[in-house]
Structure 1
Amino acid sequence: MKAATPKASKYEEALSKYNTNLDDNEVREAVKKIITEKVHENDNLDVKRFLMGSIELTTLKTTDSEESVLAFTEKVNEFDEAFGDLPHVATICVYPCFAKVVSETLEVDGVEVACVSGSFPSSQALIEVKVAETALAVKDGATEIDIVMPVGKFLSGDYEGVADDISEMKCACGDKPMKVILETGCLKTASNIKKASILAMYAGGDYIKTSTGKLEPAATPEAAYVMCQAIKEYYDETGIQIGFKPAGGINSVMDALIYYTIVKEVLGEKWLTNKWFRLGTSRLANMLLSEIEGQQIKFF
């Protein structure tokens, strides 16, 4: 009697709908072509103003305190008064213990309060702890949640475990959007990045994000390209629009322009709003401000 074939899990079935067998060299060449041929078109003031409004101003330091986070938030309030003709940042991103401080201090309409949660940056904690931390952040005023995919489970092939973790934390978010950080530097290959992207979206992620910024390498144009491809294919398959956030290692205005160009070329204009495209960086704010204003400015 022939043995029964094991039934594929719903996540393996989901992955089977997509091409996840990618060639890293082909990805590198495609990215090089976009950078060489397209970035210069976007190197202008209008795009830089747009990028200013897509920044997630982030403080995730061991030395953060209520006083420092309060001052950080006040800077966003002051920016609106000092540079009223420029877009304000999209988000202030902090640890969950500071959600209340930010939500009570922030005076600018349209700036979201994002919290990293679920045992950031490692995601190495019991699921009950990760869910509780997420729920408490939302209760204290977080309007968006950033979690880290359990990378160890992914690399050991436990796709169901990965998706279950993400789904449980999404439930704890309620109606608040959740970003899933893939930590692409640990995933190594384009194929792994594509698989992780698809799993994160199917499991309930509203955005996919490259990195925590705590490990090297962080965001890369190649990872961004693969993630945007996955978002596009997922949208074509399901009709669900998912946001994209590169984070970590965005050290220059040119880096930001490269990510903008990849989003524009792979995903198109529909993603070029500060809802669907975010940049996880703080150092970029002063750099953009200086280029827009034509003089050295250290506001943040």
Structure 2
Amino acid sequence: MTTNHEGEHIHHHNRAQQKSKYEEALSCYNTDIKDDEVRDAVRRIIAEKVHQNDTLEVKKFLMGSVELTSLKTTDSDDSILAFTEKVNEFDATYPDLPHVATICVYPCFAKTVSETLEVDGVEIACVSGSFPSSQAVIEVKVAETALAVNDGATEIDIVMSVGKFLSGDYETVADEISELKQVCGEKKMKVILETGCLKTAANIKKASIIAMYAGADYIKTSTGKLEPAATPEAAYVMCQAIKEYYEKTGIQVGFKPAGGLNTVMDALIYYTIVKEVLGEKWLTNEWLRLGTSRLANMLLSEVTGEETKFF
């Protein structure tokens, strides 16, 4: 009997120690940030800086950062095949324009995309880990992620366990992320924070730091399945966190706004926030991605100067 209690005691003691590891990590950062200060900073950036980036060159760059996404209940092998063929055709039709960065689909279509895609340099991202709710046991998340990688996914997008985060169980949140990162191995993993559910700038900052500490290669705003999705304010806080993390660790983490990118102006606002907070080093299609399906045609229309519905 005693042994069991002793074992339990040690287990609790370890958990307390573990917990302090994440609390300790958070204590190295300024997480006491005020929502209204973030709003003011974003308003200032939009008013003073966005117009400088409203250029053909930036729009072309943004096209090359698009993660062309199809995450519909109605997706089928046929529709995803046609979707991927469009990316192949784009390369031939517009040889002077950058192709999209990524095709993003459900894991059951990883094989279809990897067998159809002919364009070098386009990544195959799969949303995994019981997207979009992340409400599944870790074994299911691990299996789904391993299968996606096995079927040809070159990047994995998972959703942080938001319910556990909001309950203060940072340890489990971080452990799950690092376990899934181990499954991804060399493949890049994006952690979706679902910022609309986190409500405050302080929560978004904490979630960003925990995700990066646990092994995120990118942090991403939203699944696009809930409102509000990406907001400039959330982006600003996440970019601040990426910057501080980089200054402390030397590890560069990418950024992906997703959901609610409805206009070219939206894309220019996110580009500007990244440029102002993180600087030139993040302005490549490796470190800045835009999760959207509708934006590709809008950017293309502005770049070609005529309304184009290619994708």
TM-score, normalised on structure 1? 0.98
Secondary structure of 1:233's aligned partner: helix
2:57 aligned partner = 46
Q: Which amino acid aligns with 1:289?
A: L
**Alignment length (residue pairs):** 296
Candidates 281, 288, 310, aligned match of 1:299: 310
Q: Which amino acid aligns with 2:120?
A: D
1:36 aligned partner = 47
* 1:14 partnered with 2:21: no
Q: Which amino acid aligns with 1:144?
A: E
* 1:222 partnered with 2:254: no
CA shift for structure 1 position 9: 1.9
Candidates 243, 263, 276, aligned match of 2:254: 243
* 1:268 partnered with 2:285: no
Candidates 192, 202, 220, aligned match of 1:191: 202
**Using the alignment, how far apart are the partners of 1:31 and 1:133 within structure 2?**
37
CA shift for structure 1 position 209: 0.0
The answer to whether the 8 Å contact 1:187/1:193 transfers is: yes
The answer to whether the 8 Å contact 1:184/1:211 transfers is: yes
* 1:136 partnered with 2:147: yes
**Equivalent residues in 2 for 1:1-300, closer than 5 Å:** 7=17, 9-300=20-311
Q: Which amino acid aligns with 1:122?
A: S
**Using the alignment, how far apart are the partners of 2:262 and 2:298 within structure 1?**
9
CA shift for structure 1 position 174: 1.3
**Using the alignment, how far apart are the partners of 2:38 and 2:53 within structure 1?**
21
The answer to whether the 8 Å contact 1:181/1:212 transfers is: yes
Instruction: Give CA deviations for 1:107-129 in whole Å, capped at 9, x if unaligned.
Output: 00000000000000000001000
Secondary structure of 1:9's aligned partner: helix
The answer to whether the 8 Å contact 1:9/1:160 transfers is: no
CA shift for structure 1 position 182: 0.0
Instruction: Give CA deviations for 1:37-80 in whole Å, capped at 9, x if unaligned.
Output: 00000000000000000000000000000000000000000000
TM-score, normalised on structure 2? 0.94
Instruction: Give CA deviations for 1:215-249 in whole Å, capped at 9, x if unaligned.
Output: 00000000000000000000000000000000000
Unaligned runs of 5+ in 1: none
The percentage of aligned residue pairs carrying the same residue is 82
Instruction: Give CA deviations for 1:100-159 in whole Å, capped at 9, x if unaligned.
Output: 000010000000000000000000001000000000000000000000000000000000
**Using the alignment, how far apart are the partners of 2:268 and 2:141 within structure 1?**
34
Q: Which amino acid aligns with 1:35?
A: I
**Using the alignment, how far apart are the partners of 1:215 and 1:261 within structure 2?**
24
CA shift for structure 1 position 10: 1.0
Secondary structure of 2:308's aligned partner: coil
**Using the alignment, how far apart are the partners of 1:181 and 1:283 within structure 2?**
20
The answer to whether the 8 Å contact 1:250/1:281 transfers is: yes
Q: Which amino acid aligns with 1:235?
A: Y
Q: Which amino acid aligns with 1:88?
A: H
Instruction: Give CA deviations for 1:8-59 in whole Å, capped at 9, x if unaligned.
Output: 5211110000000000000000000000000000000000000000000000
Q: Which amino acid aligns with 1:275?
A: E
Q: Which amino acid aligns with 2:153?
A: A
**Using the alignment, how far apart are the partners of 2:141 and 2:60 within structure 1?**
36
